[in-house]
Structure 1
């Protein structure tokens, strides 16, 4: 009986080991933010300029991985849950610095303010002029968080394109975003509006941010893979 019990325990342990994920399997989250990272309906996969670099880095480094698409805050919070959990495309800020290993940069974006044509906000000349208006942006996004930290009046949405509707209806008077993203949506045929870019705030590098508990040796492999793809 004792030997049978030992055999059953050994068999159970073996089955658990087989079903467990591999030690170097990465769980990667991202948001829908074309052309950098977004879902391709035709091919049923996540694509984009940043996605291409992430996939190349993972494959060259020999790591198994999954990329999943979520609203930004959920994607970001998943990366905080443990080792080998990552999120992109992520702005590298002072508040986030110690939470992650930073792989990249993957892409560079522009933070700019947009206004509806013909409105008072469309005539501003500099960032300080925006203090009298409400600025809309994506909840949890570094650009909006920075404006909020500086004391600007802000409102957030969980789905980025909702800012367009709010700007058209003047529930916000300015929208902070990347002009490449807005142009991509326009070319895609998304319902649009008359707008003008009024102020460029900054150019910002975006990264693959991996949970700080991820082994440093693996992060170095990923960094080298991204750097190699940039040098080609």
Structure 2
């Protein structure tokens, strides 16, 4: 009887142990890391991912015991993967009505102004969004927040590219009159296409946005919370601010901490 009782207790402890191990695995299972070529936030240099967002995500994942490689993909592909597959981290992205149903967001990790740019010698004057339709074609890249903002406001004269560098070239070669881009990335994108900032000028700001790390629906809430906790630690220690200044100079880093859980039907 004593031996039978012992075996029963052993099995119970074993089941509890396996159940606990499964819980830990659900919390700490590595997430797939996807981003886009959007310097200085994320891009490849000699085939190696780099940029502010890449360095931040690598810093956080090491603390969480994860060593996943970061995939730098076209934005539309990265977004498609993250919006249809559980356990994926997409960065960096703003929050929109559509995205709120697909992702949990932590951050913010950066702020940026979505701006319309024209060639420096263009006499264009835009005072309100309704002036944009009459101005000419706007270059945007696929699934970007700028493209979504313009479409929502009824701006239909859009030339959609797969990469922001293509839109920059279209402006420089006068194939579009305006280029819609987040200001954080403009300098680096122009450098990539062999142009200087003096070649263009900002003519209208559509919105100021905050950028986040976005976890796909189906990612365990515990995983999202642990990433947020690690991000908070980096902000409190000053590491986040130092990394931000390395990539964005004197722009002030966003030091508040937020989690936005995805909306349910």
Task: State the TM-score, normalized to the length of structure 1.
Answer: 0.82
Matches within 5 A, 1:143-222: 143-153=146-156, 154-186=158-190, 188=191, 190-192=193-195, 194-222=199-227
Cα distance change, pair 189–144 in 1 and its aligned pair in 2 (3 A): closer
Structure 2 stretches of 5 or more lacking a match? 1-24, 239-265
The match for 1:35 among 40, 43, 46 is 40
Paired with 1:63 and 1:141, the residues of 2 have a C-alpha distance of 29
| Bigger Cα displacement from structure 2, 163-172 vs 201-210 | 163-172
Contact 2:164 2:189 (8 Å CA) reproduced: no
More strand by share: 1
**RMSD value, Cα:** 1.9
Paired with 1:93 and 1:107, the residues of 2 have a C-alpha distance of 16
Structure 1 stretches of 5 or more lacking a match? 1-21
Contact 1:31 1:71 (8 Å CA) reproduced: yes
Give the SS at the match of 1:123: coil
Q: Does 1:93 align with 2:96?
A: yes
Deviation string, structure 1 residues 20-77 (Cα, Å, up to 9, x no partner): xx86121111111111111122xx4211111222112222222342310111000111
2:49 match? 46
Give the SS at the match of 1:75: helix
Paired with 2:152 and 2:182, the residues of 1 have a C-alpha distance of 20
Contact 1:110 1:179 (8 Å CA) reproduced: yes
Paired with 1:30 and 1:183, the residues of 2 have a C-alpha distance of 19
Q: Does 1:26 align with 2:31?
A: yes
Contact 1:30 1:68 (8 Å CA) reproduced: yes
Cα offset for 1:169?
A: 3.2
Task: State the TM-score, normalized to the length of structure 2.
Answer: 0.72
Contact 1:104 1:223 (8 Å CA) reproduced: yes
Paired with 2:68 and 2:87, the residues of 1 have a C-alpha distance of 9
1:114 match? 117
Q: Does 1:224 align with 2:229?
A: yes
Paired with 1:149 and 1:213, the residues of 2 have a C-alpha distance of 28
Contact 1:36 1:48 (8 Å CA) reproduced: yes
Q: Does 1:62 align with 2:90?
A: no
The number of equivalent residue pairs is 207
Cα offset for 1:189?
A: 6.3
